Amino acid sequence: MAPLLHLRDVALTFGGQPLLEAAEIAVSAGERVCLVGRNGSGKSTLLKIAAGLVEPDKAVRFVQPGCTVRYLPQEPDFTGYKTSLAYVEAGLGPGDDAYRAQYLIDELGLTGDEDPATMSGGESRRAALARVLAPEPDILLLDEPTNHLDLPVIEWLEQELKSLRSAMVLISHDRRFLTTLSRATIWLDRGLTRRMDKGFGEFETWRDEVLAQEEIDRHKLDRKIAREEDWLRYGVSARRTRNQRRLGELHGLREQRRTARFAVGSVKLEASEAQTSGKLVIEAVNVAKAFGSNVVIKDLSLRVARGDRIGIVGPNGAGKTTLINLLTGQLAPDSGTVKLGVSLEMVTLDQRRESLDPATPLGDALTGGGSDQVMVGDTPRHVIAYMKDFLFQPLQRRTPVGALSGGERGRLMLARALAKPSNMLVLDEPTNDLDLETLDLLQELLADYKGTVLLVSHDRDFIDRVVSATLISDGDGVWTEFAGGYTDMLAQRGRGVGAKVRAVSGKSPAGEVAPVATAPALVNKRKLSFNEKHALETLPKRIEVLQAEAAKLTTAMAGDLYTRDPKLFAKATARLEEVTREIAQSEERWLALEMLQEEIGA
């Protein structure tokens, strides 16, 4: 089937660095593609090029004649529109259903009379979604459509997009959203795109296989360079032309190694843990809180023990942040009592990054100013080294916080929070603007964290992977606790947070979605065999023995052995080649087993 949109050979350079090199996107009718990659890899830029909004250095862009394309930006421009409805209706084309604009406004919880100048981030995102969905275009290009949305709207949006016939290209950090909707995956990595004709659910396994093969290839290249360097130092001075050729090949290998764009490093997350808190961390008894006639919390009793991980979910306005403030003692209840345990050292990651002064340089935001040291727990770290742990470049030390991207600000907040000693982490939407790899590492950190965690999040997959219990708003100030994560809560409660769906999808008596929730499939991963375990344990020692033998042979051949005993020299040369080959094979085998063990352990 001919693609509706085909973008190929895309090249774009920023600041002397290539951002995109021969990138490609092809979308056919009805196809659902997710575009994934690290923060800063160029996903949003590539989507803007596909939408025709950014001019690349080089590209071939084809759109089928008559094909309609709609693009959802991360930051919509409402200039010139007096109301949200006027903004949505302006996105309709000739022949589009004018009533669909009002229908979507209603479904997304807006009135249509909102002033765009005073709309919140969530209201702006919903208006922008209504504008691109109203025409039911041939192609939808959606950049982080779930940003600033709560769970009811996210679940409604999933149902709405599933019902459309439009082709889609999606960028999102929400794993569950991508897994539900995507049927193909484009991975943007180091300026190039790779395509897999499977949904996001298969992406991470595929990505890990690609990176593992790259690691093996890099290891082989390093070993080949080392062998050539050994030959250059100690090899026979035979025919000069042959020597010059091999010397040229060595220079070529070095250049290949220097210019290769290997995978970007990972964020190094490690929480600084304080002394152990008391066994009882929080005890709330019959707590209530209201703001005027709006009852946010009613008769809540909750006990949080050391090591508990509590996820708090609910629609926007349900009082999640208020509940966090009550449980941590920052806000007094109207009635009831909240008792905090002893020896609590609490660190909070706020949702809106409000503690960051836009004018403060990045380095000063980490050190507090006037120093080049960051105290990570009780250990001083140089600010540049600590910045590198979170994928910041040394040149960014003087960059104002206001000039950082959303993902960079998210990593900065993590760096600040994790440097402080704590035995309790309070995380209010920590996943905002973080890429999938950083989310993976944050999940691993929380899994290893020995303290207590209170987590507010709209990311269902993140909740499933992190929490041991879920506290959900049932409306009218009622909060109910369920064991397990979001999927476990769905199975016990029988419905989600309360998303609306179109009539064609069916509604529960209460007007809420009753999704059929299935727990993520458990993968039966194989274990290492006895021989594999034995090889993993013994190969490092075997490699050391072989390397020692290779060193002795090289030393022996470096003297006048060739003139004294040509036969012995030939024998030593043959043995050195054999040992070198065995070292390479052993190292490759050990590397593959290490990767296998890490995969099984994960």
Does 571 score more than 50 pLDDT?
yes
Look at residue 101 in the predicted model and tell me its pLDDT. 92
235 inside domain: no
End of a domain among 190, 205, 220? Answer: 205
The pLDDT tens digits for 505-544 are 333 333 333 333 333 333 334 566 666 777 788 888 888 8
| DSSP β-bridge partners for residue 26 | 6
Residues 80 and 187 in one domain: yes
Q: How far apart are CA 565 and CA 561, in angstroms?
A: 6
pTM, two decimal places? 0.68
Band of the pLDDT at 186, cuts 50, 70, 90? very high
The verdict on 387 and 369 lying in the same domain is yes
Q: Would residue 248 count as lying in a domain?
A: no
User: What is the pLDDT averaged over residues 45-60?
Assistant: 93
- Domain-embedded: residue 518: no
Domain boundary among 459, 480, 496: 496
State the average pLDDT for the chain: 81
**CB of 34 closer than 8 Å to CB of 185:** yes
**Taking residues 289-304, what's their average pLDDT?**
91
Domain check: are 129 and 201 in the same one?
yes
- Which pLDDT tens digit goes with each residue over 343-398? 888 888 765 555 677 888 888 888 888 788 888 877 888 989 888 888 788 888 88
Same-domain status, 341 and 379 = no
Percent of the chain with pLDDT over 70: 83
Look at the block and give the residue holding tokens 């001083």. Answer: 380
Task: Say how far apart CA 528 and CA 586 lie, in whole Å.
Answer: 17
For 406, the token pair is 């959303």
Asked, for residue 505, whether it belongs to a domain, the answer is no
* One domain, residues 324 and 374: no
- For residue 247, tell me if it sits in a domain: no
310: exposed, middle or buried (C-beta count within 10 Å: 0-12, 13-18, 19+)?
buried
**What's the pLDDT tens digit per position in 219-260?**
777 777 676 666 555 554 444 444 556 556 555 655 655 555
Its domain, for residue 301, covers 268-345+422-432+450-496
Please indicate, yes or no, whether residues 61 and 116 belong to a single structural domain of this protein.
yes
On whether residue 287 sits in a domain, the answer given is: yes
One domain for residues 191 and 291 = no
The CATH code of the domain that includes 572 is: 1.10.287.380
Q: Which helix (H) or strand (E) holds 225?
A: helix 203-234
What is the count of structural domains for the chain? Answer: 4
Contact 418, 247 (CB under 8 A): no
Is the residue at 563 inside a domain?
yes
Domain identity same for 409 and 476: no
Q: C-alpha dihedral over 84, 87, 91, 95, to 10 degrees?
A: 80
71 and 158 in a single domain? The answer is yes
Look at residue 558 and tell me whether its pLDDT is greater than 80. Answer: no
Domain boundary, last residue among 179, 205, 231: 205
Query: What is the residue-wise DSSP string for 343-355?
Result: T--EEEE-TT-TT
Q: Is residue 291 part of a domain?
A: yes
Sign of CA dihedral 395, 398, 400, 406: positive
Structure-model confidence comparison of residues 276 and 367, the more confident one: 367
283 and 162 both lie in a single domain: no
Q: What is the pLDDT of residues 452-465, one digit of tens each?
A: 999 998 888 888 88
Q: How many other C-beta atoms lie within 10 A of the C-beta of residue 534?
A: 11
Lowest mean per-residue pLDDT among 188-202, 299-313, 382-396, 586-600: 586-600
**Do residues 415 and 485 share a domain?**
no
With bands split at pLDDT 50, 70 and 90, how would you rate the model's confidence at 265? low
Q: Rounded mean pLDDT of 76-86?
A: 92
Count, in order, helices (H) and strands (E) of the chain. Answer: 18, 20
Q: What is the CATH number of the domain that holds 294?
A: 3.40.50.300
Q: How, if at all, do strands 309-313 and 452-456 pair? A: parallel
Is the same domain home to 372 and 382? yes
How many CB atoms sit inside 10 A of residue 85's CB? 19
> Over the stretch 103-146, which tens digit does the pLDDT of each residue have?
999 999 899 999 998 888 888 999 999 999 999 999 999 999 99
Give the angle 211-216-218 at the CA atoms, nearest 5°: 90
